[in-house]
Structure formats: C-alpha cells, structure tokens
Amino acid sequence: MTPIDAADYKRYLLDRSKPATVNKARIALKRYFDWLVKQGICRVYARSPPGNPSSRSNRGGGPPRWLDRKEQWALLRQVQKEKKPRDIAIVSMLLHAGLRVEELCHLRLEDVEISERKGKVIIRHGKGGKWREVPLNRDVQKALEEWVEVRSSSGPWLFVSTRAEQLTTRAVQFVVRKYGQQAGLEQCTPHALRHTFCHELAVKRVPLDVIATLAGHMTADGCPNIATTAIYTTPGDQDLRRAVDQLSWE
C-alpha cells in the first residue's frame, strides 16, 4: 500500500462517511499495519499516514489555515482598491501559484515567461534546492504584466521595494498582513495563501501528486510527497458546514 493508495482511500471515506467514521478507519488501518510489521509481512510502513493528527502537531492538531472563497474575494478586493500593481501581483502569485514567500522573493525577471496563450514561473531554488515550474493562470499573468510595465528598477529581481532593492520576506509578510487586516481577516499570512492554493485544488479533485508537484512537496529522490499534501484533504469548519447545508430544504 503506497501513500497514494492511503490518500485515495481517505478521500473515498470522506466522500461517504462522517469525520468520526474516517478517524476510526484510520486507526484500524494503522493497527493492521502495525500487526503486519510485527509479523514480518510488511517491512516498510509509514507511521504517519495521511490525516494523522501527529503530522500536524505544530498546528494544534487542526487542518492548515486557508481562506474560503468569500475571504479570498475580500482580500483581493482590498488589494485592488489600493491600485498598487506590485502588491496585486504578489497576492495573486501567492494565492494562485502557491509559492513559498522565500521563493517569491528570490524570483528574477527571467524566471517569468508569459506569452499570448500561456504563462509559467520557474522556481530555481525551492525548498531543499529543488527546481520546478508552475503554470500561471490568466489572473496572475495579467497582474504580472501590469506590474512589470510600471516596474522602474533595472535590477534582476522581479519584486522590489520603493528603493529598487530586492523585496524581503518580512516586507511581503507585512504587505499580506496589512491587506488581510483591512479586509477583516485574522492570521492572513503568505503561508495561509499558499495553503489556500493547495486546498482549493484539493477541493476541485485535482490529484494529490499534481498538487504536490505544483506546491513543491517533494521527497529527497524527487518524487511527489503525497503524505505532506494529503493534509489539504482534511475538511475544515467551512467544508463541514457546507456539507451539511446541502441537506437543508431552504
């Protein structure tokens, strides 16, 4: 049984069962594999299967923080209200391309390729030194084109400060937090926007290995790290509320 099998099984259960039932099934599966290991039948066993709360201990056992569609729109509307092309491009990249804040700050002009029909961004030094390409949707392409058009710096960095210097991670965090507060959102961070990117793809049933590749969740040997990405299939409060609302007669 591979991590992909485990993730697919979990998604199958989530579509048909209550969260408590899914948790019972996970515990039963863990005990079964513990027994296989003791019997010498199974030599390799991942002790933190997808959905195991221990894999999210740094998040208090809950799912990662992401924005629902209403919150996303509130944030984007607030950014667009300021009419600052750089900030619009930054938020669009984090929300629709899922970049880590460090990756965004290290982008050079040459790392973005946009044509009439498609666009992409090249991450040359992702986490663990991994290289990857992320396609850009039309919203991000438009935001980047408008930013590059007014960008005054002659330096190599895509995102620069008012002094034409490379933008720091702290500066990006400040920008996102500022607009989040103006939109009435709590804990709005670049990482929350990256989580939103992954969660939105998971909700739309994009395969986990595709999400992992786009987000740069990779193992040491360069394969998609499904176990890391699977946390985005864990339903949050909004997902649970939306599920039961479908049963309402009104």
Tens digits of residue pLDDT in 220-247: 888 888 888 888 777 777 778 878 988 8
What are the CA-CA distances from residue 250 to residues 70, 245, 247 (Å)?
21, 9, 9
Structure tokens at 111: 């790392």
What are the CA-CA distances from residue 133 to residues 49, 99, 136, 240 (Å)?
28, 11, 10, 33
Residue-level length of the chain: 250
Exactly one of 86, 96, 179, 232 is catalytic; name it.
Answer: 232
Task: Please give the pLDDT value at position 231.
Answer: 83
Cβ contact 59:36 at 8 Å: no
pTM: 0.71
Task: Please give the pLDDT value at position 32.
Answer: 77
Ordered by where they begin, the domains of the chain are 1-63+235-250 (no CATH), 69-196 (1.10.443.10)
Task: Please give the pLDDT value at position 42.
Answer: 64
Structure tokens at 64: 């990662």
Give catalytic status of residue 191 as yes or no: yes
Task: Please give the pLDDT value at position 249.
Answer: 82
Cβ contact 111:124 at 8 Å: yes
Task: Please give the pLDDT value at position 180.
Answer: 96
Low-confidence ranges of the chain (pLDDT < 70): 1-19, 42-64, 250
Could you give the CA distance from residue 65 to residue 227 in angstroms, rounded to a whole number?
A: 18
Quick count: other Cβ atoms within 10 Å of Cβ 137? Answer: 12
Strand partners, 112: 121
Q: Give 126's contacts (C-beta < 8 A, 6+ positions apart).
A: 100, 103, 132, 216
Give catalytic status of residue 217 as yes or no: yes
Give catalytic status of residue 83 as yes or no: no
Task: Please give the pLDDT value at position 83.
Answer: 92
Task: Please give the pLDDT value at position 50.
Answer: 40
Exactly one of 10, 26, 194, 195 is catalytic; name it.
Answer: 194
Exactly one of 10, 96, 100, 151 is catalytic; name it.
Answer: 100
Give catalytic status of residue 194 as yes or no: yes
Exactly one of 24, 118, 127, 242 is catalytic; name it.
Answer: 127
Tens digits of residue pLDDT in 177-215: 999 999 999 889 999 999 999 999 998 999 999 999 999
Q: For the stretch 29-62, what's the b/e string if a residue is b when 16 or more beta carbons lie within 10 angstroms of its beta carbon?
A: bbeebeeeeeeeeeeeeeeebbbbeebbeeeeee
